[in-house]
Amino acid sequence: MQATMENFQKLMLFNLSSGEEKRVWQEDSLFHYCYNIVFRAGYLALYGTEPHQGADKEKANEQDRIHSNQVFHEFRKYDRLFPRLAYAVLPPKDKMEAERLKRLFWSILSVKKSWRKDNISGWISDQNQLLAENGVPEYMRDRFMFMLLWASQGNTGPTAFWLLFYLMKHPEAMKAVREEVDKVSRENGQEVKPGSPPINITREMLNQTPILDSAVEETLRLVAAPILVRAVLQDTSLKTSSGTEYTLRKGDRVALFPHISVQMNPEIHPEPHEFRYDRFVNPDGTKKDFYKNGKKLKYFNMPWGAGVSICPGRFFATAEIKLFVFLMLSHYDLELVNREEEIPAIDISRWGFGTMQPVRDVRFRYRLRF
């Protein structure tokens, strides 16, 4: 958490104290901006940073900025090919490109190279150690590191994009979240003032944001659409709430798509296509309960899957998204260049692969608040 925080500062606010970044509007593409920053902060927090000695810190930071940006650009190339790669429908030229990218990442993230980095996360080094102890050869561990990069960085940036987009589209939501963020900063002695250094958001501060939590949850409800595949280990039957009973045979595979059955279900979430930032929170800040046919539900939002293989990165992902939005709202005014901007359609070729991506980017502008 602290590492991610420092990396966000390193990437977003590095020329704040130098006074270079004046209060002028800067324009950018929102999807690219969010994905780029969140990917790079997550990548550096998990896979480590450039080592340095004493006064070389700024040089190492600059190296991290350049290197992580290059990694992001290569990652996006792979990301774009991914749905067609998964369905095995890539034309030969793209197939060769996917192969090149895979090999590049096995090399960039290789176990050997990682020894040279500082601040590798405990999660990454433990995964490697566990595999090594179980006799998994080094070349396979390199490949596993790329799988983990994919799992850890493919969804968080796109989710951050949708959250900031919805906040800009819904001024009452933006106002409520910003007021909460400002209040938490003030109460923790971290208020942003003219000329002040970037705020340092602690874990404790992130635990005081019920409205932001609800906005994150609502964003995930709308845009996270994973297919959950489970193998049937013994003959059984599955009864749905509508009374239909399915016979499942040992060896069958079951694919669940909770985006439709749960997240977009109007019996659980009225007007399910609407973004309601406070859908998941009561006025007193406690979490809302959800019901269907009078029965309280355990699963009313399933962006992380469920059961044995529920996303192990969900707490990290949530903290990362919240940190990013907290920093953006604390330091910047944000607005859509086109105030009448329509919500971009989602790229339906990605159904089932996690957080949806928009078919086109959206222009926005930002400037320092103080």
Q: Is 228 in the site for ligand HEM (CB under 6 A)?
A: yes
Structure tokens that stand for 55 in this block = 């006064």
Task: Find the residue with minimal CB distance to ligand HEM.
Answer: 313
- 49: nearest Cα among 2, 110, 7, 1: 7
Q: What is the DSSP letter of 231?
A: E
Q: Is 124 in the site for ligand HEM (CB under 6 A)?
A: no
Q: Write the DSSP assignment of 291-357 as a string of letters.
A: EETTEEPS-S--TT--GGG--TTHHHHHHHHHHHHHHHHHHEEEEESSTTPPPPPB-GGGTBEEE--
Which one among 49, 68, 114, 155 touches ligand HEM, defined by CB under 6 A?
155
Q: Please name every residue paired with 295 in a beta bridge, in sequence order, or none if there are none.
A: 292
> Alpha carbon of 22 to those of 16, 25, 336: distances in Å?
8, 9, 20
Q: Is 260 in the site for ligand HEM (CB under 6 A)?
A: no
Q: With contacts defined by CB under 6 A, how many residues of the chain interact with ligand HEM?
A: 22
User: Are 179 and 190 contacting, i.e. CB atoms less than 8 angstroms apart?
Assistant: no
Instruction: Name the one residue in this structure whose structure tokens are 């090399």.
Output: 107
* Residue 42 three-state SS: helix
Stretch in the footprint of ligand HEM (CB under 6 A) among 84-92, 147-155, 237-245, 327-335: 147-155
User: Are 212 and 180 contacting, i.e. CB atoms less than 8 angstroms apart?
Assistant: yes
Query: Position 333: which residue type?
Result: D
Query: Position 347: which residue type?
Result: D
Structure tokens that stand for 89 in this block = 């429908």
- Is the Cβ of residue 181 or residue 222 nearer to ligand HEM in the bound state? 222
State the binding string over 169-208 for ligand HEM (x if CB under 6 A, else -).
----------------------------------------
Which one among 151, 254, 345, 359 touches ligand HEM, defined by CB under 6 A?
151
- Is the Cβ of residue 157 or residue 198 nearer to ligand HEM in the bound state? 157
- Is the Cβ of residue 313 or residue 358 nearer to ligand HEM in the bound state? 313
Is 311 annotated in some ligand binding site?
Answer: yes
Which one among 35, 146, 316, 364 touches ligand HEM, defined by CB under 6 A?
316
Between CA 68 and CA 74 the distance in angstroms is: 10
Q: Is 301 in the site for ligand HEM (CB under 6 A)?
A: no
Which one among 41, 174, 224, 281 touches ligand HEM, defined by CB under 6 A?
224
Nearest distance, CB of residue 284 and ligand HEM, angstroms: 27
Instruction: Tell me the helices (H) and strands (E) count for the chain, helix number first.
Output: 13, 11
Nearest distance, CB of residue 122 and ligand HEM, angstroms: 12
Longest dimension (CA), the chain: 68
Between CA 105 and CA 74 the distance in angstroms is: 9
Nearest distance, CB of residue 123 and ligand HEM, angstroms: 7
Nearest distance, CB of residue 147 and ligand HEM, angstroms: 8
- 281 torsion bin: left (phi>0), alpha (psi -120 to 50), beta (else): beta
Which one among 159, 209, 219, 263 touches ligand HEM, defined by CB under 6 A?
159
State the binding string over 340-359 for ligand HEM (x if CB under 6 A, else -).
--------------xx----
Nearest distance, CB of residue 309 and ligand HEM, angstroms: 4
- Is the Cβ of residue 282 or residue 309 nearer to ligand HEM in the bound state? 309
DSSP run (H or E) holding 18: none
- Is the Cβ of residue 3 or residue 368 nearer to ligand HEM in the bound state? 3
| Interacting residues with ligand HEM (CB under 6 A) | 148, 151-152, 155-156, 159, 224, 226, 228, 303-306, 309-313, 316-317, 354-355
Residue ranges for the known binding site for heme are: 311
